[in-house]
A and B are shown apart, each in its own frame.
Chain A
Amino acid sequence: MKNVPTKDILLFRSCLVSVEYPGVEASTKYVFDRLGVDYEISPKQTCCTGLGHYSDVFDQIDTSAIGARNFRIAKDEGRPNLVMMCATCYAINKKSVKLLNKKDDLRNHINQLFDENGLSHLKYEKDDLKPTENIFHVVDILYAKKDEIKKHIKYDLSDYKIATHHGCHYCKVHYEDTIGGVRDPNIMDEIIEECGCRTIGWYDHKRATCGTGFRQRYSNPDLSFTATADKMNAIDDEDVDILVHLCPNCHIQFDRYQHLIAEREGRKFRAIHLNIAQFIALAMGGDFDKVIGVKAHTVPIDSVIKDLKEVGK
């Protein structure tokens, strides 16, 4: 397995986390603080371009130039380890690092543009960052610290039926070094086990997309929601109480549109949706409003989690 850092981390802000599920950020900080992870957030960091990139508005040069700027900020702050809360930020940034390192033409072109326009301080030098050594998702850090997690668990969530949805842009884009597998992704299942719970493991469409499909959700909602329905039906067939996520975009697709898809399918879906950081924060005793941020959720968390049982009681 790759070496995962637990210090000199720049926790990379995500646009969707900020405005849709701020509890993911609060929970990540809450869990990181308890696990002794050394991180900071930078106000200078900007969006990865992911949403625009995968709506085909941004091309690679735009995305990589923006990436180069964010990478420079991380380096300058002495926090070269970028840790993402969003799967798409992870995919986008990792690809930019790979391209900037490998494709001399692209790097030289961007650096030249920077030079010619008074942005020389943003220049990216080959191997400034390494894709496998510097670019991570929050789950990677949690996985590296999983032995530590179990020491902080306060509540026993093992009575709930739990399934995982691993975001495509975490698992599949850079499949060569994904922890826990790609064809049957398991990194979150393994982390959840450290919280004293067992997931249902494999289910039909486990590795499939959430259905967002970027432009599909807005321009092609039928296609988008039909794909999501495949997965929601499979999850409901397994009587899942909690679906655990690692990407805010998947989270939106499931949490925000669960009612709508239930109507379309003529079924009732009951699963609630938590980010892995929220799940662990909850198990560690994080407050519903002050840490988990349940007010941002469309499917009410307390529709499933009514009361919490302390471990060993």
Chain B
Amino acid sequence: MTTQKISDSPIDFAEKIIRDVKNSKEDGVLKCVQCGMCTSTCPAARHSDYNPRDIIERVLEGDETIIEDDCIWNCFYCYTCHSVCPVGNSVCEVNQILKQIAIESGIGYDKLYEYMGFADSYFTAAIGAIPERFFADIDRDVPGWWDFRQNLDEIRKELDLDPPLMPSREVIDEVSTILTITGFKDKIERIRQSEEDENEERTD
């Protein structure tokens, strides 16, 4: 049994999500009637424990432990729920907001370790490149891919395209500055620190 105390205000959690800048659906989350159409069309629900309807149920119950639940990381960001929700809610956006809350509170750091390459490539080349730590997997799963990437310049030349564009120093500096002043760089450093700390613990 759970008790709902008179002082509890479960709706505060939903209100916090509504206020997030990423939320484009205004009060959509509050209008949820748990019809399940999101889950009925969700690829992750079809093949895993992920249940978008249940996520909104928990949000509306004020269950903030949801940010610790691994299932939220199963969303494909395919926006199918967003495109069909009959009351104008978007679980997909709510999910993104939940993960940012998880990251902000440090809970989600470990989920990002593998993806730090996206941040690095931005600071070094202002592009979003598949992180190098996945190259081995790709090379294993996709025969010929590594060779192709080695020949990329030549293939592009044949197509009358410039070599893969490395923007000018000026451009890279400008975007690096932007990502510093938004607080992005600090966040990345915190995540990286956390990873290093964990690694040290493991080796100790």
Contact = CB atoms under 8 A, between A and B. Distances in A.
Given A55-B112, A172-B82, A211 B177 contact: no
B114 interface: yes
B97 to A, nearest CB: 9
B179 A208 contact: no
A157 to B, nearest CB: 21
Contacts of B187: 59
Given A50-B128, A169-B79, A172-B79, A117 B181 contact: yes
Interface in B77-123: 77-80, 82-84, 96, 99-100, 103, 108, 111-112, 114-116, 118-119, 122
B182 interface: yes
A113 B182 CA distance: 8
Interface stretch (A4-12, A18-26, A77-85, A193-201): A18-26
A106 to B, nearest CB: 5
Contacts of B144: 298
Main secondary structure of the interface of A (DSSP, over half): helix
A49 interface: yes
Interface string A262-294: 000000000000000000000000000111010
Contacts of A54: 77
Contact of A209 (B43, B122, B138, B161): B43
Size bin of chain A's contact surface: 35 or more
Nearest to B152: A19
B16 interface: no
B80 A208 contact: yes
B152 A257 contact: no
Interface string A22-35: 11011000000000
B156 interface: yes
B21 to A, nearest CB: 5
Contacts of A58: 118-119, 184
Contacts of A220: 73-74
A69 B158 contact: no
Contact of A256 (B74, B145, B151, B161): B145
A87 to B, nearest CB: 10
A254 to B, nearest CB: 12
Contacts of A173: 79, 82-83
Interface in B116-134: 116, 118-119, 122, 126-130, 134
Given A119-B174, A227-B43, A290 B128 contact: no
B128 A218 contact: no
B103 to A, nearest CB: 7
Given A46-B175, A98-B24, A296-B148, A26 B160 contact: yes
A55 B24 contact: no
A242 interface: no
30 contacts: A13-B165, A46-B127, A46-B167, A51-B118, A51-B130, A52-B115, A56-B96, A57-B119, A60-B22, A61-B21, A62-B182, A65-B181, A65-B182, A69-B178, A168-B79, A172-B80, A172-B82, A173-B83, A207-B80, A208-B80, A209-B78, A213-B78, A215-B73, A215-B115, A216-B74, A223-B74, A230-B46, A290-B158, A290-B159, A298-B145
Interface of B: 20-22, 24, 43-44, 46-48, 73-80, 82-84, 96, 99-100, 103, 108, 111-112, 114-116, 118-119, 122, 126-130, 134, 137-138, 141-145, 148-149, 151-152, 155-156, 158-161, 164-165, 167-168, 171, 174-175, 177-179, 181-184, 187-188
Cβ-closest 5 pairs across A and B: A213-B76, A52-B118, A209-B78, A172-B83, A26-B159
